[in-house]
Amino acid sequence: VGVTLSSIARNQLQAMQLAMFYFLPNLLLSGFMFPFAGMPAWARFIGDLLPLTYFNRLIRGILLKGNGWVDLWQSVWPMALFMVIVMGIALRFYRRTLD
């Protein structure tokens, strides 16, 4: 995500603003700070689009439940898909020269 945001931003300040714009919803809607089940439907929908939601489920499954690879696969593939999408966007916007 950082590579993508830095390739889109025109300067460092803009990159930091984009990072906060991405970071805050990720933190608030992923189930990290507030229980995912207690959120309204629209917040859960947005949370399901964020990779931190799946990372939280993955870490909780490993550390708290002792889940194996078969159980954790449903949290791994959305993160891998997200990575492919954001890296594709980064490659599209990457500039070969420094400003």
pLDDT tens column, 76-96:
999 999 999 999 888 888 866
The whole domain housing 21 covers 2-93
Is 78 domain-assigned? yes
User: Model confidence over 20-79: pLDDT tens digits?
Assistant: 988 988 989 988 888 888 999 999 999 999 999 999 989 988 888 888 888 888 889 999
Q: How far apart are CA 63 and CA 75, in angstroms?
A: 14
In a domain, 75, yes or no: yes
Query: Is 12's pLDDT higher than 90?
Result: no
The total number of structural domains in the chain stands at: 1
The closest alpha carbon to 1, from 68, 93, 99, belongs to 93
Neighbour count for residue 73 (Cβ, 10 Å) = 11
- In this structure, is residue 36 part of a structural domain? yes
Residue 98 lies in a domain: no
DSSP 8-state symbol, 65? I
Look at residue 43 in the predicted model and tell me its pLDDT: 92
Look at residue 99 and tell me if it is in a domain: no
What pLDDT, on the 0 to 100 scale, is given for residue 99? 55
Distance of alpha carbon 99 from alpha carbon 43, whole angstroms:
38
